[in-house]
Chains A and B, each alone.
Chain A
Amino acid sequence: SQTIHQWPATLVQPVGSPLSLECTVEGTSNPNLYWYRQAAGRGLQLLFYSVGIGQISSEVPQNLSASRPQDRQFILSSKKLLLSDSGFYLCAWNRDSGRDTQYFGPGTRLTVL
């Protein structure tokens, strides 16, 4: 069966510091991968998605970036965090057909102080 992991579970970072969040999927190959941010009262906002290694599409311009160095690894990064980057970050995957259900990871709670 497939499982999705996110690391770390919680993170507190000062403004201006770098960020690296990791998402890994097990039990499947060539998944579509997604990063979402959930801020209070604003639902889920799609940040990035990837259909393959090195292929990243950005949905919202911001100071965040994403990379996919391996087939089942998706990384969200920032060089300098802003207060507005605080939120709950969720990674998701679905099968490469794109028509399948998206399955979500447990999330990372990021607080920028």
Chain B
Amino acid sequence: AQSVTQLGSHVSVSEGALVLLRCNYSSSVPPYLFWYVQYPNQGLQLLLKYTSAATLVKGINGFEAEFKKSETSFHLTKPSAHMSDAAEYFCAVRKGGSQGNLIFGKGTKLSVKP
């Protein structure tokens, strides 16, 4: 069975600092992994996805994530935080089967201090 664990429900960084949001997964099949971002009272927007191609995945807004099979991790990073990055971030793994159902982590709320 697939599962996702996001370490840290809240992360606070200063503007210009490195952003690191942690995600560990469990999957009995080769995983498809996703990071989504949610701004207040809005839907989820795809940041990036890993689908068994390159292990370093680049997404929108300067974010990237690295798939590490040995560590079962898919951490999200951005070299320099911007105030507009303040949002909630969700890691997800695609469930096995043809329906494409996603299993989400509980989310990490990112705050950016000026």
User: Which A residues have a C-beta under 8 Å from some C-beta of B?
Assistant: 6, 32, 34, 41-44, 46, 49, 51, 57, 59, 88, 90, 92, 94, 97-107, 109
Partner of B32, one of A99, A107, A109: A99
**In the complex, A100 Cα to B46 Cα: how many Å?**
12
Name the residue on A nearest B41 (C-beta). A109
Chain B residues contacting A32 (CB-CB under 8 Å) are 99-100
**In the complex, A98 Cα to B98 Cα: how many Å?**
5
Chain A residues contacting B42 (CB-CB under 8 Å) are 106-107
A99 and B104 contact, CB distance less than 8 A: no
CB of B107 within 8 Å of the partner chain: yes
Chain B facing A: main interface SS:
loop
Chain B residues contacting A59 (CB-CB under 8 Å) are 101
Interface size on B, residues (CB 8 A): 24
A41 and B106 contact, CB distance less than 8 A: yes
A43-B104, A101-B34 known; A106-B9 Cβ under 8 A: no
A41-B9, A43-B90, A43-B104 known; A49-B44 Cβ under 8 A: no
Among B44, B97, B106, chain A packs the most CB atoms within 10 A around the CB of: B44
Beyond the given pairs A43-B106, A101-B46, 17 more chain A to chain B contacts, judged by CB atoms under 8 angstroms and listed by A's residue number, are A6-B43, A32-B99, A41-B9, A42-B106, A43-B105, A43-B107, A46-B101, A46-B102, A90-B44, A94-B100, A97-B100, A99-B51, A99-B94, A101-B49, A102-B100, A104-B36, A106-B42
**Sample of 24 A–B contacts (CB below 8 Å):** A6-B43, A43-B104, A43-B105, A44-B44, A59-B101, A88-B41, A90-B43, A90-B44, A92-B44, A94-B100, A98-B98, A99-B32, A99-B51, A99-B98, A101-B34, A101-B46, A102-B34, A102-B100, A104-B36, A104-B43, A106-B42, A107-B41, A107-B42, A109-B41
Among B41, B51, B97, chain A packs the most CB atoms within 10 A around the CB of: B41
Chain A residues contacting B106 (CB-CB under 8 Å) are 41-43
**In the complex, A104 Cα to B101 Cα: how many Å?**
13
Chain B residues contacting A104 (CB-CB under 8 Å) are 36, 43-45
Name the residue on B nearest A59 (C-beta). B101
**In the complex, A2 Cα to B104 Cα: how many Å?**
23
